[in-house]
Amino acid sequence: MNLGLGTAALGRPQYINVRQNDVDNSDLAAFRKQSFQVLEDAYNAGIRYFDTAPGYGLAEELVLDWLKTKDDNSIEIATKWGYTYTANFNANATVHEVKEHSLAKLNEQWNFSKQLLPYLKVYQIHSATLETGVLENQEVLKQLAFLKKEYNLKIGLTTTGTNQVDVIKKALNVFVDGKQLFDIFQVTYNFLEQSLLEIIDELHQQNKEIVIKEALANGRVFSNKSYTHYQEMYASLEKLSKKHKVGIDAIALKFCEQTIPKSTVLSGASNVNQLKENLKINSFSLSAEDVNLLNSFKTDAEHYWSERKNLEWN
């Protein structure tokens, strides 16, 4: 199955997106129980790739508890380092997360994340950017190379922002002791943001693994009166939804799966109903005409990311 499960919305009651409905996640015990059930349902549906991070609130801890109920070496856990969750489950927090790409942060977060072994297969720099200098930090790169060798991990990074491609290009040229460090790239990609296509051939040629995040463009694929410039797209998605008898979420996920072959596409489902809808990706295929139609909604990366910057935690 090409579908994986991202746990950002399972570990943090608030998330940067455009919500369809208001939710009340103030009861943390109930929220945790619901999130645990999503992990369980995803596993029972055949999903084996689970992506988490310490920056996702209680997500890593939740995944760890869930793994204690499993004995299946086909499960692949991916986690990250570099973001600390600071909102403390407060809906009105002004700062929800803090980025720090230092060796001290890597060591501190690895200390907890290593408990995910032996299921932990992928270790990533969370939102690597040129600005933090993490791809030139020799201490960090050497430590990642050590962890890769010592624990047989794939080392990766996640990208966000207008210069995703520049970050990936730089990462492909990172070598430690003569060996290429990065094996896997988790990239924002959807029919609005398609900059990944600029470097996809290079990634395939170098046998790099690709994980796709934000396939639903943080909820912007769903009809919204605030986004008048997307009305034509919303009408087209509605037609495709009726044609294939699936939700718009499944259309968006399927687009990613079909246009970036051999990738893992992350579902960001926050409850069992969303997961059930996302899983319908396996029930249909988009025609070439469908794909061309969705391709026509591609936006300029600058516009896409400035729009995302204005989204709120909710």
* 180-213 per-position pLDDT tens digit: 999 999 999 999 999 999 999 999 999 999 999 9
Its pTM stands at 0.94
What is the percent of the chain with per-residue pLDDT over 70, rounded to a whole number?
91
- As a whole number, the mean pLDDT across the chain is 92
3-20 average pLDDT score:
76
* 206-247 per-position pLDDT tens digit: 999 999 999 999 889 999 888 889 999 999 999 999 999 999
110-121 average pLDDT score:
98
20-41 average pLDDT score:
80
* 68-80 per-position pLDDT tens digit: 999 999 999 999 9
Query: How do 175-176 and 179-180 pair as beta strands?
Result: antiparallel
User: Quick one: three-class SS letters along 250-284?
Assistant: HHHHHHHHHHCCCCEEEECCCCHHHHHHHHHHHHC
Q: pLDDT at residue 112 above 90?
A: yes
Burial of 45 (0-12, 13-18, 19+ CB in 10 A): middle
Lowest mean pLDDT among 171-175, 227-231, 237-241, 266-270: 227-231
Q: pLDDT at residue 11 above 60?
A: yes
Identify the CA nearest to 174 among candidates 182, 166, 165, 164.
182
C-beta neighbour count of 201 within 10 angstroms: 9
Provide the 8-state DSSP code for 287. Answer: -
What is the percent of the chain with per-residue pLDDT over 90, rounded to a whole number?
82
Identify the CA nearest to 51 among candidates 70, 79, 73.
79
Label residue 311 by pLDDT band (50, 70, 90): low
Lowest mean pLDDT among 84-88, 99-103, 249-253: 84-88
Q: pLDDT at residue 313 above 50?
A: no
94-119 average pLDDT score:
91
Label residue 297 by pLDDT band (50, 70, 90): very high
Residue 241 to residue 265: CA distance in whole angstroms:
19
CB contact at 8 A, 119 and 74? no
Provide the 8-state DSSP code for 153. Answer: P
Identify the CA nearest to 217 among candidates 68, 39, 16.
16
Write down the pLDDT at residue 19. 47
Long-range contacts of 135-140 (CB under 8 A, 24+ apart): 135/167, 135/170, 135/171, 135/174, 137/101, 137/102, 137/103, 139/103, 140/101, 140/102, 140/103, 140/106
Write down the pLDDT at residue 188. 97
Residue 13 vs residue 260, higher pLDDT: 260
